[in-house]
């Protein structure tokens, strides 16, 4: 288990504050405060954890893995979407609580075609409306076969910082880390309906980023 590089600033600040308060606690022999600071530091630092040795659950390149850890909160059919160049699409929405790993991973081998950031509100991501009106970042990609799809990072009531250092033209491998959303949030996979052979998850199912298969595309 590592701490993600996307959280270096936060856990450095957390560590500095914790060390300062701990020094004061030791000086005044306030040992209960020392224990409390230690527990709080572990809780906050764990948010930026980055699990090692994750591999897709199958070796089939047609299987798209989850872009995030969390709970499948909705599976939505839409008649068009910018990520699929206006074609009908299936959206798999994943809710990330503050206890989930918040690293985002590429669902499949792909090339980034566009990155579109949109400011917005900070509603609780458990509210249906939040996916449409909250601040978000849509990364539009194409598979190695040229199929257009998207992954969307959505900020929430607590999560107010979307991290995505990618640039247009970058190539990602299946399961590769591409960013994170800091604290509770939502991530969506948007894929053309006509290119889906089998949907592999259901609403209410827990998934693991870079491991769990969300859908199988036509070969």
Question: Hunting for tokens 């190539």 — which residue is that?
Answer: 171
Spatial distance between the Cα atoms of 217 and 147, rounded to a whole number of angstroms: 10
Catalytic status, residue 36: no
Spatial distance between the Cα atoms of 218 and 195, rounded to a whole number of angstroms: 6
Coil, strand or helix: which one is 166? coil
Torsions phi, psi for 45 (to 5 deg): -65, -35
Which is catalytic among the residues 66, 73, 130, 185?
185
DSSP 145: T
* Dihedral angle sign, alpha carbons of residues 132, 164, 145, 94: negative
**Side-chain-facing half-sphere of 6: CA atoms under 13 Å:** 21
Burial category of 55 from C-beta neighbours within 10 Å (exposed 0-12, middle 13-18, buried 19 and up): exposed
Residues classed as catalytic = 185
């Amino acid at each position: 288990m590592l701490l993600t590089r996307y959280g270096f600033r936060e856990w450095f600040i957390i560590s500095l504050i914790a060390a300062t308060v701990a020094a004061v606690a030791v000086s005044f022999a306030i040992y209960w405060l020392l224990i409390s600071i230690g527990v709080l530091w572990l809780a906050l630092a764990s948010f930026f954890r980055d699990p090692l040795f994750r591999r897709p659950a199958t070796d089939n390149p047609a299987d798209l893995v989850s872009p995030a850890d969390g709970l499948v909160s909705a599976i939505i059919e839409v008649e068009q979407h910018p990520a699929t160049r206006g074609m009908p699409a299936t959206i798999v929405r994943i809710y990330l609580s503050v206890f989930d790993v918040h690293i985002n991973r590429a669902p499949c081998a792909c090339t980034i075609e566009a990155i579109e950031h949109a400011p917005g509100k900070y509603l609780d991501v458990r509210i249906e409306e939040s996916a449409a009106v909250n601040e978000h970042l849509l990364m539009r990609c194409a598979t190695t076969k040229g199929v257009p799809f998207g992954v969307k990072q959505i900020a929430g009531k607590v999560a107010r910082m979307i991290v995505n250092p990618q640039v247009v033209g970058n190539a990602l491998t299946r399961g590769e880390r591409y960013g994170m959303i800091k604290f509770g949030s939502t991530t969506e996979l948007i894929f053309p309906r006509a290119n889906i052979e089998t949907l592999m998850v259901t609403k209410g199912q827990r998934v693991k980023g870079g491991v769990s298969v969300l859908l199988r595309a036509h070969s």
